[in-house]
Structure 1
Amino acid sequence: MFTGYCIDVFTDAINLLPYAIPYKLIPYGDGTNNPSGTELVRLITAGVYDAAIGDIAIITNRTRMADFTQPYIESGLVVVAPVKRMNSGAWSFLKPFTRQMWGVTALFFIVVGAVVWILEHRLNDEFRGPPRRQMITILWFSFSTWFFAHRENTISTLGRFCIDSLISSKDPIGYQQGSFTRDYLINELGIQKSRLISLKMPEDYAKALKDGPRNGGVAAVVDERAYIELFLSTRCEFSIVGQEFTKNGWGFAFPRDSTLAVDMSTAILRLSENGDLQRIHDKWLIRSACSRQGAKLEVDRLDLRSFWGLYLICGIACLVALLTHFLMMVRQYIRHYSPELDSSGQSTSARLQTFLSFVDEKEQEVKSRSNRRKLEMASNRNESMDNHSSKRRHIESPPDASNEA
């Protein structure tokens, strides 16, 4: 008698076919070592078997040898490693960063808020008012940016970062014996063969992970998600780190151009639609809450070195914005106030106080006052010209005839 997740999916699917299919299940392998799925598929092309069912991942080199059904489960490669559980509390949101990281981050947000205030103070009414109100505006702007503006999803990035870190290290990596994982790690990711350690049973996974690289174990195990979720269902001290970095699934293999592959695919889709496929999955692969807890993403704390480039860009942007804004204000100040100051003969301290008052003024008020001053100067100039013209006409007029007499 053969039982299991893949067997239940196969029997339920074949019962949905519109015709009867007699079959006989033959075990493959010696019962001790995990057999190669690629070799099993090759035996179909050799005529040894008419089909192959089981946890056969649909990968490129296998599809060149046989036809596969619709995948009945998604099972990409994931990384599992030991984790240190931390109790959740009121301040759990502070745990991803170190104290130094939080301090520098808070300082930079306040700096950015101050820069925004400087740039908006003369243009935006919301950034004006009494000093206390303006200080609250700066702090609130920084606070809202800190807690409400970060909506990017970084899970995929962190998952890729996890496997990249594993590749760059020299630590041994475990994989399931007979799985395509070994060839993928060597051919696709360029990991040296000497770093790969073959593991057979879930007990081997647990022992190798607990021992660690220093005691002859492994730093992590790379395997298909379905296996790992079943492994984590009873071992809460380990966890999936990141997300899947490959996308594939399991399917049943048939000879090339077999009509059974198409009909079985249709049957598998019907199992998915009526909920039976999920029921079979939950029956065999969901054993306890650990499978849910273990699949959660957990990463190490991030320190200051992880973000120095971001802070450098932020600092340069703020410096450029402030410098540009200051030069524009100086240019505007010289254009509007320099003639008056030169004529009034004010001291340096008085000029500085006048400049600070100018900086605090709203730009619209400065422009309005400048326009009024220009109008007044133009009016005074016209009046002066009119008086001068009238006086000149009076001087140049001919003497009166009665005076000559």
Structure 2
Amino acid sequence: MLSFLYNRLAKLGGENLRLDAMRMLDGGKQLLESILNVDMNGVTGRVKFLPPDDTLIHPAYEVINVIGTGHQRIGYWSNQSGLSIDPPETLYSNPGNQSSSDQHLGPVFWPGKTTQKPRGWVFPNNGRHLAIGVPNRVSYREFIGQVPGTDTYSGYCIDVFTAAVSQLPYAVPYKLVPFGDGVENPSLTELVRLMSAGVYDGIVGDVAIITNRTKMADFTQPYIESGLVVVAPVMTRSSNAWAFMRPFSPAMWAVTGIFFLVVGAVIWILEHRLNDDFRGPPRRQVVTILWFSLSTLFFAHRENTVSTLGRVVLIIWLFVVLIINSSYTASLTSILTVQQLSSPIKGIETLRTSNDPIGYQQGSFARNYLVEELGFHESRMVPLKGPEDCERALKAGPHKGGVAAVVDEQSYLELFLSTRCDFSIVGPEFTRNGWGFAFPKDSPLAVDLSTAILKLSENGDLQRIHDKWLMSSACSSQTTTFQVDRLHLSSFWGLFLICGLACLLALFLYFLKIVRKFSRHQQADVSHAAAAAASSSAALSLSSASVRLQTFLSFVDEKEEEVVSRSRRQSLDRASNRNDCEAVDGETQDSKSGRRVEFSTNKDIGTENGI
């Protein structure tokens, strides 16, 4: 019977398995009715099925937490309330209280007697310790170095790693394993390769995150920024007799001088026909242009501008002069009052154009970057073990067996410069990278430690560790700045562009105005010449191009008042000639009729004779 029942139910499929399926059995209908009529109190509570779906009344479960050989209740679960700390009977008896927002379940204790939710994997307490490789450095031990006489390590990198591991929600047993012979700085790229081969389980140290290393390992969030920079010897630059020329670059001086002359010439053109201050002999006019343009530098020009276009151009130019004066004054004040540092090397571009030897820290990726990425010749690369070697090589110079500059990561060189004030970082940082902890590919420790490093940065612990190891500086109190105070044309080209466009627009409008007036003047002259030559029926010939150009230049050079006065005289002459012509025409007509008309000196009164 049971076998038959099992086979029949299996044919129905799990998705269709319901109490109604019992009707298909022999006597199943009666069995089903007996089950649905059950109403009893069992171990889990009351057992009863409710129509029409034949669902169990008040289904509920108790949720327990098994701890070792014992257990504790966390809460209950039911269809009505979900997870709750109240018994289902209480909730079902009070249907109005269905809110679970104030239901706080009991704590859950996970294996290991911890309340932290497991992350899917843990290190066994009795398992193998992680072999963490650390570079056995011989220089810059402030970052990482072995404590003399012990097997322990200390330094900035170690403190950051220890603080980050303490933020993890699980224990990480590890053992620091040195890499290197202690005589020379080891190659960190080789250390990363060994870790990818399974020799180490992770790397803690001053490992820069660069492209070829990220192909072999996963890195955490950078805990310090450290790109490549150039360090070179610097000297104190004192003020001299020509210090007043240093605020502006040569190009800035040249363009400023040209604009002074251009603006003076434009103002002279716009004012020449209207303003007596801009007229006179040629020598005087040249002196006026020079004096006016240079006097605007001090806002001391005495010549007045009367034209509208001239005033617009002058206002824009005076604004440009105000900005230039303010910038020059600020820069010159800095040069004369603050001690300046100078160096013949301005950055990585200066090293590109020379053949001088370049120093780098032994074991650093700087050598490969300079040779493979930037194209420096390998023969120029000089390995240096530590800061003392760097100092000696820089002081010796390229002509005495030393180097012209040292290229290294900024974190090292900032520590190097903290007690060596004869050198300085020149030029900008030309790579952007940082240091991180390395782990094998797909290791969850890289992600978890990245989160821990971000927490250290947010709560200020990362900065406190930095200040503990890397803030000792003997040069921070010196009021010296590297020479970057020259003002270049690129900072002012917008002002010069606006002024230049204003000058061109003013000249264009002025030219249109003059051409229009010249055309009217020419028409008046042609009419006058035609009236004067009316008795001789000769046609008026057009002037040649050179004559017309000379006439135009003479017209432009002539004062506006004289042109207006001459135009008025020509108008009066044309009116007089017109009256004379009318009188002659009248006399001719009278002579044809046998009569002569005489006029007195008063042209308005005439006497008629010979009638």
- Normalized against structure 1, the TM-score is what? 0.71
Aligned to 1:137: 296
Aligned to 2:261: 114
Q: Which deviates more, 114-123 or 266-275? A: 114-123
Across the aligned residues of Structure 1 and Structure 2, the Cα RMSD in angstroms comes to 5.0
Distance 1:174 1:339 in 2: 82
> Secondary structure at 1:240's aligned position in 2?
strand
Aligned to 1:77: 228
* 1:338 CA displacement: 6.8
Aligned to 1:208: 393
C-alpha spacing 1:135/1:230, structure 2 compared with 1 (3 Å): closer
Given the alignment of the two structures, is residue 24 of structure 1 paired with residue 175 of structure 2, yes or no? yes
Aligned to 1:178: 363
Instruction: State the AA in 2 paired with 1:81.
Output: A
* 1:65 CA displacement: 0.4
Q: Which deviates more, 138-147 or 225-234? A: 138-147
Map 1:1-400 onto structure 2 (within 5 A). Answer: 1-87=152-238, 95=246, 106=253, 109-120=256-267, 136-140=295-299, 141=318, 143-144=321-322, 146-148=324-326, 162-290=347-475, 297-298=482-483, 328=511, 332=515, 335=519, 355-356=556-557, 358=559
Distance 1:166 1:221 in 2: 10
Aligned residues: 361
Distance 1:171 1:207 in 2: 16
Q: Quick check: which one's helix share is greater? A: 1
Instruction: State the AA in 2 paired with 1:264.
Output: L
* 1:210 CA displacement: 0.5
Q: Which deviates more, 51-60 or 11-20? A: 11-20
Instruction: State the AA in 2 paired with 1:29.
Output: G
C-alpha spacing 1:380/1:279, structure 2 compared with 1 (3 Å): farther
> Unaligned regions of 5+ residues in structure 2, if any?
1-151, 278-287, 300-317, 331-342, 490-495, 530-551, 594-610
* 1:32 CA displacement: 1.1
Contact 2:232 2:345 in 1 (8 A): no
Distance 1:292 1:6 in 2: 27
Distance 2:568 2:451 in 1: 85
C-alpha spacing 1:168/1:284, structure 2 compared with 1 (3 Å): same
Distance 1:94 1:276 in 2: 48
C-alpha spacing 1:272/1:256, structure 2 compared with 1 (3 Å): same
Distance 2:460 2:196 in 1: 33
> Secondary structure at 1:257's aligned position in 2?
coil
Contact 2:346 2:426 in 1 (8 A): no
> Secondary structure at 2:202's aligned position in 1?
coil
Aligned to 1:310: none
Distance 1:180 1:170 in 2: 21
Distance 1:212 1:300 in 2: 26
Q: Which deviates more, 17-26 or 382-391? A: 382-391
* 1:274 CA displacement: 1.6
Distance 2:573 2:567 in 1: 10
> Secondary structure at 2:453's aligned position in 1?
helix
- Normalized against structure 2, the TM-score is what? 0.49
Instruction: State the AA in 1 paired with 2:196.
Output: T
Distance 2:223 2:480 in 1: 20
* 1:221 CA displacement: 0.2
C-alpha spacing 1:95/1:391, structure 2 compared with 1 (3 Å): closer
> Secondary structure at 1:234's aligned position in 2?
coil
Instruction: State the AA in 2 paired with 1:137.
Output: T
> Secondary structure at 1:85's aligned position in 2?
strand
* 1:61 CA displacement: 0.3
Distance 1:273 1:298 in 2: 36
> Secondary structure at 1:55's aligned position in 2?
coil
Distance 1:353 1:395 in 2: 42
Distance 1:256 1:289 in 2: 42
> Secondary structure at 2:347's aligned position in 1?
helix
Q: Which protein has greater RCO, CA pairs closer than 8 Å, 6+ apart? A: 1
* 1:298 CA displacement: 3.5
C-alpha spacing 1:260/1:105, structure 2 compared with 1 (3 Å): closer
Contact 2:180 2:186 in 1 (8 A): yes
Contact 1:171 1:213 in 2 (8 A): yes
Contact 2:514 2:556 in 1 (8 A): no
The superposition leaves residues 320-354 of structure 1 with CA deviations (integer Å, 9 ceiling, x where unpaired) of x89x959949974855767889989xxxxxx9998
Distance 1:192 1:386 in 2: 98
Distance 1:68 1:388 in 2: 107
* 1:200 CA displacement: 0.8
> Secondary structure at 1:112's aligned position in 2?
helix
Aligned to 1:347: none
> Secondary structure at 1:26's aligned position in 2?
strand
Q: Which deviates more, 379-388 or 83-92? A: 379-388
> Unaligned regions of 5+ residues in structure 1, if any?
152-157, 308-313, 345-350, 400-404
Contact 2:296 2:321 in 1 (8 A): no
* 1:50 CA displacement: 0.6
Instruction: State the AA in 1 paired with 2:230.
Output: V
Instruction: State the AA in 2 paired with 1:287.
Output: S
Distance 2:567 2:457 in 1: 80
Q: Quick check: which one's strand share is greater? A: 2
Contact 2:345 2:351 in 1 (8 A): no
C-alpha spacing 1:199/1:134, structure 2 compared with 1 (3 Å): closer
> Secondary structure at 2:473's aligned position in 1?
coil
Contact 1:186 1:192 in 2 (8 A): yes
Task: Give % identity.
Answer: 50
